């Protein structure tokens, strides 16, 4: 019998604009590790006009968190079928973290590491207010720091890029406040469990990727079963 493959189950923890989505996509593209972005999933519900999307939209537009029971239903469906993944934007409250621990313990798939992205307030505001994204794929760009080849057009699929309605100055400040009040406590939660690795996420996209790879304990291409691309 062959040895079971090493799994990698990462949480990317950090404030809005820290670069979690950008880095998840880099690792997904290069190593095939599946990104689960609760923000992208919610925005898809909003675009599709589902009941869940209608309910979530009021919270998202205000920069508030969508209630925990909705989020747990969504994450349970995602995690069921896959063994290795990156959680991007989830959990965001201690209640979500506890419920996630229960869910993963029952599935025999515990989190292997939590990467905490450290970025200062001013940098976060500049990143968020200059962000343009592809609403269909979640791929993000920045007008100044990571521009597409043609303004407003995704390099990958040629589709239009948009600015998110919650990336305005006012809503950004609200979201950063909510992060400090409700999500930052997760640093202690995971530190106590010996899972937390902090990286300095002010550096360039390439250097942040290198810092993540330097901190992850398993070889990602082996964990995902997909051959690494350069
Ligand atoms: P998050 O998912 O944590 O909210 P994103 O990955 O969407 O953050 O990044 C927010 C914005 O900052 C995007 O416009 C992105 O292009 C840009 N960005 C991401 N990482 C970096 C980086 N290391 N340096 C400069 N800009 C970055
Ligand atoms: P960012 O990383 O830029 O804050 P996301 O795309 O992760 O943005 O999230 C956008 C919005 O979706 C949040 O402001 C919140 O309203 C909602 N959301 C996403 N993930 C969660 C979650 N785990 N719990 C509650 N609300 C969430």
Q: Which ligand is nearest to the CA of 100?
A: 2
126 is a catalytic site residue: no
Domain covering 9-33+84-224 in this structure, CATH number: 3.40.50.300
Q: Tokens representing 69?
A: 């029971």
15 alpha carbon – ligand 2 mean position (Å): 10
- Residue among 30, 92, 127, 139 flagged as catalytic: 92
Tell me the whole-structure pTM to 2 decimals: 0.95
Nearest-CA neighbor of 110 among 101, 118, 97?
101
Verify whether residue 164 is a known catalytic residue. Answer: yes
Q: Which residues touch 31 (CB under 8 Å, ≥6 apart)?
A: 220, 221, 223, 224, 226, 228, 229
Quick: pLDDT tens for 128-144.
999 999 988 889 999 99
- Identify whether the C-beta of residue 53 lies closer than 8 Å to the C-beta of residue 45: yes
First-to-last C-alpha distance (Å) of the chain: 31
Q: Which ligand is nearest to the CA of 40?
A: 2
Task: Please state the domain extents for the chain.
Answer: 9-33+84-224
Question: Which of 20, 25, 43, 139 is the catalytic position?
Answer: 20
Tens of pLDDT, residue by residue over 53-108, are: 999 999 999 999 999 999 998 998 888 878 899 999 999 999 999 999 999 999 99
């Amino acid at each position: 019998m062959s040895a079971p493959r090493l799994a990698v189950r990462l949480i990317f923890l950090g404030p809005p604009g820290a670069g979690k989505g950008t880095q998840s996509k880099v690792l997904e593209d290069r190593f095939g590790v599946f990104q689960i972005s609760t923000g992208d999933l919610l925005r898809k519900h909003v675009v599709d006009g589902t009941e869940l999307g209608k309910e979530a939209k009021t919270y998202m537009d205000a920069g508030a968190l969508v209630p925990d029971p909705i989020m747990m239903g969504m994450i349970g469906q995602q995690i069921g079928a896959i063994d290795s993944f990156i959680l991007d934007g989830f959990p965001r409250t201690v209640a979500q973290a506890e419920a996630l621990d229960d869910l993963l313990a029952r599935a025999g798939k515990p989190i292997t590491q939590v990467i905490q992205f450290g970025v200062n307030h001013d940098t976060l505001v500049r990143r968020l207010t200059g962000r343009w994204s592809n609403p269909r794929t979640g791929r993000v760009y920045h007008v100044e720091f990571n521009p597409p080849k043609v303004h407003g057009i995704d390099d990958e699929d040629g589709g239009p890029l948009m600015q998110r309605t919650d990336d305005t100055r006012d809503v950004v400040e609200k979201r950063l406040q909510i992060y400090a009040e409700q999500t930052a406590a997760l640093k202690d939660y995971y530190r106590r469990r010996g899972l937390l690795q902090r990286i300095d996420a002010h550096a360039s996209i390439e250097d942040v990727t290198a810092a993540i790879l330097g901190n992850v304990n398993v070889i990602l291409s082996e964990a995902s079963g997909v051959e690494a691309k350069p």
